[in-house]
A and B are shown apart, each in its own frame.
Chain A
Amino acid sequence: MDTLLDIENLWVKFPTRQGIFDAVRGVSFTLGRERLGIVGESGSGKSMTGRAILRLIRPPGMVEADHINLDGVDLLQKSEKAMREVRGERISMVMQDPKFSLNPVMTIGDQIIEAYRLHSTASKSEARTKALEMLEAVSIRNPERVMRAYPHEMSGGMGQRIMIAMMLIPNPEILIADEPTSALDVSVQRQVLDIMDKLVKERGMGLIFISHDLNLVADFCDRVLIMYAGRIVEVCDADKLHDAQHPYTRGLLNSLPRLDTPRDRLDVLTRDPAWSDTPSVSGRL
Chain B
Amino acid sequence: MTMLSIEKLNVWFGTGRDRVDAVKAASFDVGAGESFGLVGESGSGKSTILRAITGLAPTWSGRITVDGRAIERTRPRAFYKQVQMVFQDPYASLHPRHSVDAVLGETLQLHGFKDIDARVVRLLDDVGLGQKFRFRYPHQLSGGQRQRVAIARALAPEPQLLLLDEPTSALDVSVQAEILNLLADLRQEHGLTYLMVSHDLSVVGHMCDRLAVMKDGEIVEIMNVAALRAMQATHPYSQHLLQASV
Complex: A188 Cα to B41 Cα, angstroms: 9
Contact across chains for A259 and B41 when beta carbons are under 8 A apart: no
Shortest CB-to-CB span from A191 to chain B, Å, is: 10
By the criterion CB–CB under 8 Å, are B181 and A265 in contact? yes
Q: When the two chains form their complex, are residues B181 and A256 in contact, meaning their CB atoms are under 8 A apart?
A: no
- The answer to whether B240 has its CB under 8 Å from any CB of chain A is yes
Residue B123 lies at the interface, judged by CB distance under 8 Å to chain A: no
> Closest CB of chain A to B148's CB: distance in Å?
14
Q: How far, in Å, is B227 (CB) from chain A's closest CB?
A: 11
- Asked whether A251 lies within 8 Å of B174 as measured between CB atoms, the reply is yes
A165 to B43, CA, bound (A): 24
- When C-beta atoms are compared, the residue in chain A nearest to B185 turns out to be A265
Instruction: Give the segment of B57-65, B93-101, B201-209 that binds chain A.
Output: B201-209
Size category, B interface: 20 to 34
Q: Which residue of A lies closest to B231 (CB)?
A: A259
Alpha-carbon distance A17/B228, docked complex (angstroms) = 51
* Segment of A2-10, A97-105, A112-120, A266-274 in the binding face: A266-274
B172 and A41 contact, CB distance less than 8 A: yes
Q: Given A186-B244, A190-B244, A258-B202, check contact A267 B177 (CB 8 Å).
A: yes
Say yes or no for B245: interface residue by CB 8 A criterion: yes
Tell me, in angstroms, the Cα distance from A155 to B43 when the chains sit together: 10
Give chain A nearest CB distance to B100 CB in angstroms.
Answer: 21
Q: DSSP majority for the B interface?
A: helix
Which residue on B lies nearest to A261, using beta carbons?
A: B229
Main secondary structure of the interface of A (DSSP, over half): loop
With A252-B173, A255-B177, A259-B228 known as contacts, the answer to whether A266 contacts B206 (CB < 8 A) is yes
What's the nearest-Cβ distance from chain B to residue A238, in Å?
Answer: 17
> Please, how many angstroms separate the alpha-carbon atoms of A256 and B205 in the complex?
12
Is A257 within 8 A of B229, CB to CB?
no
Closest to B174 in A: A269
- Count contacts on A: residues with CB < 8 A to the other chain: 28
User: B143 within 8 Å of A by Cβ?
Assistant: yes
> B140 on the interface (CB 8 Å rule)?
no
Contact of A259 among B42, B199, B202 (CB under 8 A): B202
The answer to whether A265 touches B184 (Cβ under 8 A) is yes
Which listed residue (B41, B206, B228) contacts A187, Cβ 8 A?
B41
A247 within 8 A of B: no
Could you tell me the distance in whole angstroms from the C-beta of A182 to the nearest C-beta in chain B?
9
Q: How far is the CB of A44 from chain B (nearest CB, A)?
A: 9
25 A-B residue contacts at CB 8 Å? A41-B175, A42-B172, A185-B41, A185-B42, A186-B199, A186-B244, A187-B41, A187-B240, A187-B244, A189-B244, A251-B174, A255-B177, A256-B177, A257-B177, A257-B203, A257-B206, A259-B228, A260-B229, A262-B206, A262-B225, A263-B206, A265-B184, A266-B177, A267-B177, A268-B174
Since A258-B202, A264-B184, A266-B181 are in contact, a sample of 6 more A-B pairs with Cβ atoms closer than 8 Å, ordered by chain A residue number, is A42-B172, A186-B244, A255-B173, A257-B180, A257-B205, A268-B177
Which A-B residue pairs are the 4 nearest by beta carbons?
A: A257-B206, A255-B177, A266-B177, A269-B174
